[in-house]
């Protein structure tokens, strides 16, 4: 089986370990991943705040390229990219004039025929049902499943999980042998794109997330967004300063945790690339 793949900018740079783990897990379950050719940035996180037409043209071009490539389903691991692509698909589906204008701007037809999957939807549909018998080393740890603010919002467009207390990532980790905790910050914002411009603010916002996970006994934080991972992992110095203590809870992508459970190599999953050492 073949799935289209939109890595987005992060998975080709600062979060290459996320891409490595997605590809490794897909291969372990006999899924062929086909990257969209000549893809471009989706416009996250700023395009939709600056130019409405541009904010639709960028994601629409990606989806048009996928259509041209004959892909029917495309997995989009980055929560911000997933948000921009799905919002664009929603808006163009209800406004033919806008759809035609964006096709004109991009110089290629946009049909809106591609099914967009975030990483949890991809796991739920093609991997989680096959986990029984594949888990060779259960991820036997208490985990805080952190969804962030984009993966499940806006609900009226994404129609994916619950907005305030989502469960889909928790269910995947349960099947991988983990014990998800009940905690208060699973959909709070980590600071997102303010990591460079307002680093202390990110330290505070991410610090509240890491602090609550630690206070509730989590041994690892599980994420499905490169920006969330970057803030919670790379900004640990600022987080620890805000908390007033050193907290060493590692942050793993859900595909890394799942990969460990099915016996994949730690280096193949990119676990050597993290700022906070992964000891689980």
Residue 250, sorted as left (phi over 0), alpha (psi -120 to 50) or beta, turns out to be beta
Calpha distance 66→216 (Å, rounded)? 43
DSSP E strands in 6-99: the ranges are: 32-35, 73-75
Angle at 72 between CA 67 and CA 76, to 5 degrees: 90
pLDDT score for 49: 73
Range picked from 155-164, 196-205, 245-254 for highest mean pLDDT: 245-254
Place of tokens 């467009």: 157
Taking 90 as the threshold, does the pLDDT of residue 57 lie above it?
yes
Q: Write down the pLDDT at residue 193.
A: 77
Q: Model pTM?
A: 0.96
Domain with CATH 3.40.50.11810 in the chain: 134-273
**pLDDT (average), residues 12-38:** 97
At CA 37, angle to CA 32 and CA 42, rounded to 5? Answer: 105
Closest to 227 (Cα-Cα) out of 163, 165, 155, 150: 150
- pLDDT at res. 196: 76
Whether 42 has a pLDDT exceeding 90, the answer reads yes
pLDDT band at 113 (very low <50, low <70, confident <90, very high): very high
* Residue 166: predicted pLDDT: 96
> What is the rounded CA–CA span in Å between residue 22 and residue 35?
12
User: In what helix (H) or strand (E) does residue 145 lie, and over which residues does it extend?
Assistant: strand 142-145
Residue pair 193/231 in contact by the 8 Å Cβ criterion: no
- Please report the pLDDT score of residue 226 as a whole number: 95
Q: What is the Cα–Cα distance from 42 to 7, expressed in whole angstroms? A: 10
Q: Tell me the pLDDT of the chain averaged across its residues.
A: 95
pLDDT in tens, 206-264: 999 999 999 999 999 999 999 999 999 999 999 999 999 999 999 999 999 999 999 99
In the chain, which residues fall in CATH 1.20.1050.140? 2-119
Residue with the two structure tokens 């664009």? 88
| Mean pLDDT of all residues in 7-20 | 95
pLDDT for 164: 87
Give Cα 246 distance to the centre of its chain. 26
Q: Which CATH number fits domain 134-273: 3.30.1490.100, 3.40.50.2300, 3.40.50.720, 3.40.50.11810?
A: 3.40.50.11810
Instruction: Look at the domain 2-119 and name its fold.
Output: Glutathione S-transferase Yfyf (Class Pi); Chain A, domain 2 (1.20.1050)
**What does the pLDDT read at residue 126?**
97
- Selection from 216, 155, 156 nearest residue 187 by Cα: 155
């Amino acid at each position: 089986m073949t799935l289209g793949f939109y890595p987005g900018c992060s998975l080709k740079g600062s979060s290459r370990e996320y891409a490595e783990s997605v590809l490794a897990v897909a291969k372990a379950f006999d899924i062929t991943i086909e990257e969209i050719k000549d893809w471009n940035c989706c416009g996250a996180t700023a395009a939709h705040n600056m130019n409405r037409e541009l904010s639709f043209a960028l994601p629409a071009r990606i989806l048009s390229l996928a259509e041209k490539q004959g892909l029917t389903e495309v997995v989009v691991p980055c929560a911000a990219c997933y948000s921009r692509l799905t919002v664009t698909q929603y808006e163009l589906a209800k406004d033919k004039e806008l759809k035609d204008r964006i096709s004109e701007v991009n110089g290629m037809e946009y049909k809106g025929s591609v099914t967009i999957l975030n990483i949890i939807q991809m796991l739920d549909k093609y991997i989680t049902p096959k986990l029984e018998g594949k888990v060779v080393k259960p991820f036997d740890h208490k985990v805080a499943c952190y969804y962030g603010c984009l993966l499940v919002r806006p609900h009226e467009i994404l129609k994916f999980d619950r907005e305030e207390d989502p469960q889909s990532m928790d269910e995947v980790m349960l099947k991988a042998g983990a014990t998800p905790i009940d905690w208060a910050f699973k959909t709070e914002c980590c600071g997102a794109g303010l990591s460079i411009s307002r680093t202390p603010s990110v330290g505070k916002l991410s610090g509240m997330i890491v602090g609550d996970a630690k206070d509730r006994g989590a041994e690892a934080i599980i994420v499905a967004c490169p920006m969330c991972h970057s803030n919670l992992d790379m900004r640990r110095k600022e987080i620890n300063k805000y908390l007033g203590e050193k907290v060493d809870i590692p942050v793993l992508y859900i595909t890394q945790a799942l990969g460990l459970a099915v016996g994949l190599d730690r280096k193949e999953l990119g676990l050597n690339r993290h700022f906070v050492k992964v000891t689980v």
